[in-house]
Amino acid sequence: MTEHVGTALAHPRVTLAADWPGTDTVVAVVVTEDPAELPAAVADIRKLIP
């Protein structure tokens, strides 16, 4: 998980993203004042987690 934290922090919308081990689940925390930014944040998360 820690290998993704530094990469996630490079993207201001995504404060933390981690692959949940042994599953197809990704856990992410997105902080935004504008809900319209959420689709772009999801795209960022998909780029961060292989």
The pLDDT value recorded for residue 29 is 79
The pLDDT value recorded for residue 15 is 60
Which sequence spans correspond to the domains of the chain? 2-48
Q: Which residues contact 31 (CB under 8 A, 6 or more apart)?
A: 13, 15
The pLDDT value recorded for residue 10 is 55
The pLDDT value recorded for residue 16 is 66
The pLDDT value recorded for residue 12 is 59
Q: What is the pLDDT along the chain (50 residues), one digit of tens a residue?
A: 455 555 555 555 666 667 777 887 777 777 777 788 788 888 877 777 76
Dihedral sign computed on CA atoms, order 2, 3, 5, 6? positive
- d(Cα 21, Cα 1) in Å, to the nearest integer? 9
Q: What is the pTM of this model?
A: 0.48
Structure letter (DSSP) for residue 15:
E
